[in-house]
Structure 1
Amino acid sequence: MWREIEPDERRDVEVDGYKIVTYSFGSGDDVVFCLNGGPGLPCDYLRDSHSCLIDHGYRVVAFDQLGTGSSDRPTDRSLWTVERYVKEVEAVRQALGLGKVHLVGQSWGGWLSIEYALTHPEALRTLILENTAADIPHLIGELERLRASLGSETVAMMQRHEAEGTLDHPEYQAAITILNYRHVCRLDVWPAPVRRSLDDWNMGPYETMQGPNEFLYVGNMSAWNRIPDMHRITVPTLITVGQHDELTPACAAKMKHALPDAELKVFPNSSHMPFYEEPEAFYPVLVDFLKRRGNG
C-alpha cells in the first residue's frame, strides 16, 4: 500500500544541457521506472504511489520531467514534444545505469511509455500502462460522451466558453470541477502527493501538448494514434483502468486488442487514480503481474 517515503537517492542528470532531477528508492537490478502524467506535472503523485514496491524487492525510480518539479523549467515551447521526452527517458535510464526496466506509464506517461517502447524495445522487461490511451482522436470522442452526462445545456455552455476563449469563467470552471471529481479522482479529499503535483503544475508543456484542461484536447498530441503500431510491442503488458476513468475502459480495450501479450484490469470503484482510490484492489494486481511476468 502506498505511503510517502523519502528517496534513498536524489541525483541530477544532465540532458541536452538541462538538469533533470531523479529519485530512487530501494536497490537492486529489478527496476520499476515510472513515467508520470501531465504533461507538466511533478512526479510526486506517481512516485509516492509506487515507491512502496520496494516492499516487494524492486528498486523504484522516478524523475521530474523537463519543465516540472525540481528539474529545469525552460520556456521554449519547441521543447514540448513526445519525441524529445522519449530521448529524455532514455538519457535518464542510461545515466542511472538501470538496464532493462519494468516501465510504468500513467496518463500522459502512458503515451510516452508507448512511444518509448516502440523506440527502445530492448530496454524493457515489462510494460505497465495505467489509466492511459493510445488513440487520442478516439479518446476525444470518449471525453465528449462523458461531458454529455452533464446535460445538453451545460455542454452548450462549455462549448460557448471554449469558442470565445473564456475558460476562466466560473460556470465553465464549475463544470470542469464536477468532471474532475467524477473522472480524475473520486475521493472527497485528494491525497497530499496529488495536491502537491497539481499545485505545481507547469501549464506550458500541458497547454502545448494537450490543451487547457482534461476535457479539451487541442495541443500537438491531439491527432496522436499508435494503435496501428502496438503489435510491435511484444513484452508482457499490464493495462489498468478505472471504471469511471476519463481515459475510459474503451480506450484500454483498444490497447489490449492491439497488443500481442496484454492483460487488462478494470477497477470498478475508481476513476483516473486507482492506486489512491482503490489501493486494496490495485496493488495486488500490480505486484502479481510483476512477479508472474517480470523475468524478461
Structure 2
Amino acid sequence: MKTQVLCFISLCFLALSCADKNSQSAETEIEENVTASSYFDYSGSDDQWTGGVRMIPIETPKGTFKVYTKRMGNNPKMRVLLLHGGPGGTHEQFGNFEGYLPDEEIEYIYYDQLDSYYSDKPNDPSLWTTERFVEEVEQVRQALGLHKDNFYLLGQSWGGILALEYALKYQDNLKGLIISNMVASVPEYNKYAQEVLGPQLPQEILKEIQHIEADKDYANPRYEELLMTHFYTEHILRLPLEKWPKSIQLLFEHLNPEIYVYMQGPSEFGIIEEATLSDWDVSDRLKEIKTPTLMLGAKHDTMDPEYMEWMATEVQNGRSVITNGSHASQFDDPDTYFDGIISFVKDVDNGSF
C-alpha cells in the first residue's frame, strides 16, 4: 500500500510539472507573439527622439516653410496620411483615431497644412490655392517615403477636396483613396444646404440666419450662436456642445479664420460666393480616378449622402459607406466609420478589393 501511495504522489508531481511546463511554454509563445509586432517600435528611425514628429520643409513660390507631421505607429505596408478640414483646421479633428487604428496595426500620419496651427504661417493669400496645396501634399509624400505600394490618402471635408485634387494629378503614387464627408461639387453642397438642410430648421431660426447673411453681418455673435446651437449640433457633430470631445474643441480654438473665410466663407452653412472655393466642381472628372476609392458619407452630414454614394459609382473602383453620424462621424458613429476605413485599407492591401 505504501508503495502504491508513493507511486501515486510521484505521478501527481510529474503531471503538475508537465502542466507547469506547458503553461510556461504557452506564456512564452504569447509573449513572443506580442513582442513580434514592430508597430510601436520607433527604434533606429529618424523621428524616434521626437516621438514621430517631423517638421517637413515645403518649397513654395514665396519661400520655404515647414509643416507639422506626426507618425503614429509603424507599418510599411499600410500608411494613411490624414488631410484635415477647414481650410485652416488642424489634425486634432482626427483625435480619436488613436482609439481604433493602432489595434489594427494601420500606420497613420497627422499633418497640419501650411498656415494651420502647428505649421508655419506665412499668411500669404497667394499660397491659398488648391493647386499649391496639392504640391504641398506631394512634397510631404516624398519626405515621408510614401509610395504606390503603401500610401493611402484620407481627406475629410476640405481635406476631401484636396485629396480628390491630389488623386486627379498624382494617383499613380496612391494605393488607396478615402474621401470622408465631402462631395465633388461645392455648388451641389450649397444646393443641399439651402434646399434640404435649411428647411429642416425651425422657420424663425432659418429666417434669422438668412437675414444676417443677407446683411453680411457674419461677425454678429448671434449668427454663430444660431449655427452652433441649431445647425452644428445636428449636422457637424450630433452631441450637445458641452459633450463635444476636447480634440474637436481644440480644432475650433486653433482654426485659422483668415484662410478659412478666404477659401470657404464664414460658416458651414454653405460656401459664400466671395470664397475662392465657391465654384469648385470635379464631378465630371471622377471617372478619371482608377485608384481604389472609399467614399465615406453620413446620414446627417452637411454633405448629401446620396451624392457620395453616386460618387463611388463614378470612380473606376469605388465603394461607399454611409454612417449614421454627421460631418464629424468619426465621433458620432465611430464604429461604422472606422469599420469602413479598416475594411477598405485591409481589402486593398490583401488584393481583395
Q: TM-score, normalised by structure 1?
A: 0.92
Which residue does 1:11 correspond to in 2? Answer: 54
Question: Contact (CA 8 Å) 1:51, 1:60: kept in 2 or not?
Answer: no
Which residue does 2:289 correspond to in 1? Answer: 233
Question: Contact (CA 8 Å) 1:38, 1:109: kept in 2 or not?
Answer: yes
| Root mean square deviation of aligned Cα | 1.7
User: Does 2:327 align with 1:272?
Assistant: yes
Structure 2 residue identity aligned to 1:76: D
User: Does 2:279 align with 1:223?
Assistant: yes
Could you tell me which of 70, 73, 90 is aligned with 1:42? 90
Which residue does 1:195 correspond to in 2? Answer: 249
Deviation digits for residues 56-109 of structure 1 (CA, Å, limit 9, x no counterpart): 222211211001121011221111111111000000010111223111111110
Which residue does 2:232 correspond to in 1? Answer: 180
Shift of residue 273 of structure 1?
A: 1.7
Identify unmatched segments of 5+ residues in structure 2.
1-49
Shift of residue 170 of structure 1?
A: 4.1
2:164, 2:205 → 1: CA distance?
35
Deviates more, 1:117-126 or 1:74-83: 74-83
Aligned length: 289
Structure 1 residue identity aligned to 2:297: V
User: Does 2:72 align with 1:20?
Assistant: no
1:77, 1:51 → 2: CA distance?
36
| Runs of 4+ in structure 1 over 6 Å off | none
Which residue does 2:41 correspond to in 1? Answer: none
**1:181 counterpart SS class:** helix
Which residue does 1:108 correspond to in 2? Answer: 158
Which residue does 1:162 correspond to in 2? Answer: 213
Higher RCO (C-alpha under 8 Å, 6+ residues apart): 1
1:237, 1:51 → 2: CA distance?
23
Structure 1 residue identity aligned to 2:231: L
- Structure index of larger Rg: 2
Question: Contact (CA 8 Å) 2:313, 2:319: kept in 1 or not?
Answer: no
Structure 1 residue identity aligned to 2:93: Y
More helix by share: 2
Shift of residue 156 of structure 1?
A: 3.0
Which residue does 2:308 correspond to in 1? Answer: 252
**2:322 counterpart SS class:** strand
Question: Contact (CA 8 Å) 2:312, 2:320: kept in 1 or not?
Answer: yes
CA change 1:255–1:50 in 2 (3 A) is farther
User: Does 2:126 align with 1:70?
Assistant: no
CA change 1:18–1:51 in 2 (3 A) is farther
Which residue does 2:40 correspond to in 1? Answer: none
Question: Contact (CA 8 Å) 1:82, 1:112: kept in 2 or not?
Answer: yes
Identify unmatched segments of 5+ residues in structure 1.
1-6
Shift of residue 215 of structure 1?
A: 0.8
Structure 2 residue identity aligned to 1:36: H
Q: TM-score, normalised by structure 2?
A: 0.78
Question: Contact (CA 8 Å) 2:71, 2:107: kept in 1 or not?
Answer: yes
1:255, 1:167 → 2: CA distance?
32
Shift of residue 47 of structure 1?
A: 5.2
Structure 1 residue identity aligned to 2:295: I
Shift of residue 164 of structure 1?
A: 1.6
1:251, 1:46 → 2: CA distance?
24
Shift of residue 48 of structure 1?
A: 4.2
Question: Contact (CA 8 Å) 2:96, 2:331: kept in 1 or not?
Answer: no
Which residue does 1:138 correspond to in 2? Answer: 188
Question: Contact (CA 8 Å) 1:36, 1:107: kept in 2 or not?
Answer: yes
1:42, 1:77 → 2: CA distance?
18
1:49, 1:222 → 2: CA distance?
30
CA change 1:65–1:106 in 2 (3 A) is same
1:50, 1:239 → 2: CA distance?
21
**1:120 counterpart SS class:** helix
1:50, 1:40 → 2: CA distance?
22
Shift of residue 51 of structure 1?
A: 7.3
